[in-house]
């Protein structure tokens, strides 16, 4: 597929070293719902190519787990209601699934809200470790920027001052689309970010007209596609 000029949007996405600083910062998050929440939110932005507004609209029912294929883990898909049908289904990659499971374990311990009921947002607003309501966009931006600043400190400690400055200015929106760009740069996965996630920032719009409909991917193809992307998180 033809690539868009990278400089059109690379200023507002992460470099691969910057993402690694963020990932390292997540290792030290608190072992509670707050820590699990920020990890899941950042992983959804990176590995699922979701925008902050899309993350906030997720419910438990957004995650749809299918049957196990060839003895592998079941395929989990996200349904993004406000997207065009061609991009509405997102395959949940293993790092996101692990972060989701961790978040749900912690959230079940804090049943201050009727969280087990259907139709509710996935992410909750927590004050002094107690769930008080559902997360707003401003609060999501606040907690994610706090995590990015921790990543900036790691970069600064390693004397990578350019990345430290960028991470200090970055928002959760910078995380979105970065995985797709990193796959391209590493020459891993080919068009899989489009076929599995609906990610299309590095693909010229006219090229998509000649692509196979991503909704026609078989479960077998999805399993093999996930396996091809493993180097991006292993």
Q: Are strands 124-127 and 76-79 parallel, antiparallel or unpaired?
A: unpaired
DSSP the chain: -PBPPGGGTGGGS--HHHHHHHHHHHTTS-SSHHHHHHHHHHHHHHHS---HHHHHT-BGGGEEE----TTSPPPEEEE-TTS-GGGSEEE--HHHHHHHHHHHHHHHH-TTS-TTSTT-BS-EEEETTEEEEE--HHHHHHHHHHHHHHHHHHHHHTT-HHHHHHHHH--HHHHTTHHHHHHHHHT-STTHIIIII---TTB-HHHHTTSPPGGG--HHHHHHHHHHHGGGT-
**pLDDT score at 154:** 98
Name, of 68-77, 177-186, 208-217, the range with top average pLDDT.
177-186
Alpha-carbon distance of 165 to 79, in angstroms, equals: 35
**pLDDT score at 79:** 93
pLDDT at 209 over 80: no
% of the chain residues with pLDDT over 70: 81
Structural domains of the chain sorted by starting position, each given as residue range(s) with its CATH number in brackets: 6-232 (1.10.443.10)
Alpha-carbon distance of 215 to 88, in angstroms, equals: 9
Alpha-carbon distance of 164 to 175, in angstroms, equals: 15
% of the chain residues with pLDDT over 90: 60
pLDDT in tens, 108-159: 766 544 445 556 778 876 666 656 667 889 999 999 999 999 999 999 999 9
Alpha-carbon distance of 103 to 9, in angstroms, equals: 31
Q: Please tell me the least confidently modeled range out of 49-53, 107-111, 126-130, 159-163.
A: 126-130
Length in residues, the chain: 234
pLDDT at 66 over 90: no
């Amino acid at each position: 597929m033809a690539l868009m000029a990278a400089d059109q949007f690379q200023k507002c996405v992460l470099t691969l070293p910057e993402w690694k600083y963020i990932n390292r910062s997540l290792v030290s998050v608190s072992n509670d719902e707050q820590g699990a929440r920020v990890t899941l939110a950042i992983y959804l932005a990176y590995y699922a190519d979701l925008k902050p507004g899309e993350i906030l609209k997720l419910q438990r029912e957004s995650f749809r787990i299918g049957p196990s294929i060839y003895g592998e883990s079941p395929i989990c898909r996200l349904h993004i209601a406000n997207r065009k049908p061609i991009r509405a289904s997102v395959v949940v990659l293993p790092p996101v699934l692990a972060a989701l499971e961790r978040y749900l374990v912690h959230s079940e311990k804090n049943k201050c809200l009727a969280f087990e009921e259907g139709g509710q947002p996935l992410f909750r607003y927590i004050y002094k470790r107690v769930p008080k309501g559902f997360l707003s966009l401003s609060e999501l931006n606040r907690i994610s920027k706090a995590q990015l600043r921790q990543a900036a400190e790691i970069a600064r400690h390693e004397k990578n001052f350019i990345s430290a400055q960028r991470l200090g200015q970055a928002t959760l929106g910078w995380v979105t689309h970065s995985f797709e760009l990193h796959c391209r740069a590493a020459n891993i996965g080919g068009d899989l970010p489009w076929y599995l996630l609906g990610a299309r920032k590095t693909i010229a719009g006219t090229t998509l007209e000649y692509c196979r409909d991503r909704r026609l991917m078989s479960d077998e193809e999805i399993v093999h596609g996930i396996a091809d992307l493993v180097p991006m998180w292993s």
